[in-house]
Structure 1
Amino acid sequence: MIVVAGEALIDLVPERMSSVAAGGQLPALRPARGGGPYNTALALGRLGSPTAFCSRVSTDGFGEALLEGLRKDGVDTALVQRGEEPTTLAVASIGADGSAGYGFYVQGTADRLFTLPPSLPEGVSALSLGTCSLVLEPGASAYEELLRREAGRGVFTTLDPNIRTGLIPDAGAYRARFHGWLPHIGLLKLSIEDARWLADSEDAGDVERAVGAWLAAGPAAVVLTHGGEGLSVRRQDGSVISVPGERVDIVDTIGAGDTVNAALLHRLAGHQALSAPALAKLDEAAWRDVLGFAARAAAITCSRAGAEPPYASELA
């Protein structure tokens, strides 16, 4: 079983035809289930991987809808904590190219009060974390403790920082904390934009050196997403393998990176590579298969509104 830990929230997404206010009219907003870890768990469930979600979710109507969405696609919710505090809201803005930006309403919300669970189920093969859950205290410290505990007992861990700069009051402190996570991470996945932010540089050479330093600190591999240009992986030996993106008419990019997370885990499981030693031994052909699968899955998500990752049948 793969456990995905982190926030579940509601995205308020502009309707496609009114994503930009005109004539002083406010855009219509459509509520949609979201949150990076939530989307990753949902995508894994749809792909057919045994998956559990570990979080703290409100008992309000939005919280009930979030859990129902997971259960509908076969995700185990037994590790979900509940609270009466409201659900976090993320107001999305959609650019002309389909890219998404977010404003967050997080004060006093349920997911921030996540506490360390006593144990994860026997047979957990991987733990995936990232996004807001590793930023917003006091829950962030509990998720970090979960990461360290499970890595310490040999669980394969993956991290997608999925940087939301509006939620990070001290960039230097966050970057230092990120470096502290790396010795406990088996696979690091992030966008090229996030890599530039974490490297604190737009210079390609600086980013390349930063990725090399991150690899030296712990992960067996670093996967970078390059938007429509595709994906690449850099391995411990310094080699880089890249695949092109899948061409598709983009509606929006909400949930694309989360779909990549899920597709990587799902396909790596198929290659029996959910461990750092196995990942280090994965050959080029296998990596091309894994990255290509992730690119196809993300393209389908981008072809429809909101975070609606594909089912296994759509990728057959």
Structure 2
Amino acid sequence: MMKIAVVGSINVDMTVTAERIPKKGETLRGDSLHYIPGGKGANQAVAMAKLGAEVEMFGLVGDDAMGVKMIDNLKAQGVKCDHIGTVKGESTGTAVITVGESDNTIIVVAGANGKVDKNYIDGVKDALLAQDMVVLQHEIPLETVAYIVNLMSEHGVPVVLNPAPAANVPAEIVEKVTYLTPNEHEAVLIFGEGASTEELLRKYPEKLIITQGSRGVSTCLADGTILTVPARKVEVVDTTGAGDTLNGAFAVRRAAGDDMEKALIYANAAASLSIGKFGAQGGMPTAEEVEEVLNK
């Protein structure tokens, strides 16, 4: 079995549901409040574990009750947590999410995630280099992401970088990652307004994968064909974590040896299943559920 590492954020999502998202200065009555395990890193690790992969999470939590709960949750989902550290006097990362009208707004407080630095990476370096693939996002410091990309590149370990939340990615990092998976907004921030989606994809065949929400996901195959896998039509319950599910599922299938097309069809199906249920991790499908959809 392939070993996949995720280095990234471990958050608690404080999710409030309401009939709609409030306007500036407005007070609304909420319907419900949930404390849900989250963080892009942890979400992607759970997505992969649910799909049957051997996954280890690397990152930091605060020395609070939520930190303990988040690690317990990861373990319960089948994610290895031997190298997750605790930062004294720091809170566990928190995302405050408002869900209404099939959409959401999110404010993230980094907490311990902001302390995932080069020193931490140096301490877990051997464990990371023993992996078959490393998955990264932008909810830990960007200089740490660059440090890991350089380290993995030197040692020939494939890297998936999901550049979210949106931030600039230096050209050198774009060259060194194996796969880059921005959405359209993130792609514009990285590459500028000038080029069309198709031009960008052609420039980075089988590396750049652009997710386009309800229009599906696109990449350029090695032979120059632009592949777009359309989104499956599903009833939207909660879109939180759909991108994390897609990234996790894609990493699992590529690590297992699937070609790009097969891996993206699988990832797309997994993401579509995730938006049919509430909560980022709660909605993530098992391998059996994805296979069932693909066999229809």
- Taking structure 2 as the reference length, the TM-score comes to 0.85
| Residue 143 (structure 2) pairs with residue 127 (structure 1) | no
Paired residue type of 1:82: T
Could you tell me how far apart the structure 2 residues matched to 1:241 and 1:211 are? 10
- TM-fit CA distance, 1:252: 1.6
Residue matched to 1:184:
176
> Which digits, 9 at most, give the CA deviation of each residue in 1:157-207, with x for residues without a partner?
11010134xxxxxxxxx53x4323112201111212221333332x7x444
> Which digits, 9 at most, give the CA deviation of each residue in 1:36-63, with x for residues without a partner?
1110001111111001011111231111
Residue matched to 1:243:
229
Could you tell me how far apart the structure 1 residues matched to 2:264 and 2:109 are? 34
Residue matched to 1:277:
none
5+ long unaligned stretches in structure 2: 292-296
Could you tell me how far apart the structure 2 residues matched to 1:305 and 1:19 are? 16
Which structure carries more helix by proportion?
Answer: 1
- TM-fit CA distance, 1:247: 1.1
Paired residue type of 1:88: G
| Residue 235 (structure 2) pairs with residue 228 (structure 1) | no
- 1:2/1:52 contact within 8 Å kept: yes
| Residue 266 (structure 2) pairs with residue 293 (structure 1) | yes
Paired residue type of 2:63: T
- TM-fit CA distance, 1:105: 2.3
- 1:221/1:236 contact within 8 Å kept: no
What is the DSSP-based 3-state SS (H/G/I as helix, E as strand, rest coil) of the residue aligned with 2:251?
A: helix
Change (3 A) 1:101 1:236: farther
- Superposed CA RMSD in Å reads 2.3
- 1:199/1:206 contact within 8 Å kept: no
What is the DSSP-based 3-state SS (H/G/I as helix, E as strand, rest coil) of the residue aligned with 1:249?
A: coil
Paired residue type of 1:300: L
Within-5 A mapping of 1:1-316:
1-15=3-17, 17-20=18-21, 24-27=27-30, 28-84=32-88, 85-96=90-101, 98-106=102-110, 109-114=111-116, 115-116=120-121, 117-120=124-127, 123-133=130-140, 136=141, 140-164=142-166, 174-175=167-168, 177-201=169-193, 205-213=195-203, 215=204, 220-270=206-256, 272=257, 282=259, 287-307=260-280, 308=282, 309-316=284-291
Moved over 3 A (4+): 17-26, 205-213, 235-238
Could you tell me how far apart the structure 2 residues matched to 1:199 and 1:80 are? 33
5+ long unaligned stretches in structure 1: 165-173, 274-281
Could you tell me how far apart the structure 2 residues matched to 1:243 and 1:221 are? 16
- TM-fit CA distance, 1:20: 3.8
- 2:162/2:180 contact within 8 Å kept: yes
Could you tell me how far apart the structure 1 residues matched to 2:138 and 2:105 are? 14
What is the DSSP-based 3-state SS (H/G/I as helix, E as strand, rest coil) of the residue aligned with 1:238?
A: coil
What is the DSSP-based 3-state SS (H/G/I as helix, E as strand, rest coil) of the residue aligned with 1:241?
A: strand
- 2:234/2:276 contact within 8 Å kept: yes
Percentage of identical aligned residues: 23
The count of residues paired between Structure 1 and Structure 2 equals 278
Change (3 A) 1:255 1:51: same
- TM-fit CA distance, 1:90: 1.3
- TM-fit CA distance, 1:237: 4.6
What is the DSSP-based 3-state SS (H/G/I as helix, E as strand, rest coil) of the residue aligned with 1:10?
A: strand
What is the DSSP-based 3-state SS (H/G/I as helix, E as strand, rest coil) of the residue aligned with 1:224?
A: strand
What is the DSSP-based 3-state SS (H/G/I as helix, E as strand, rest coil) of the residue aligned with 1:221?
A: coil
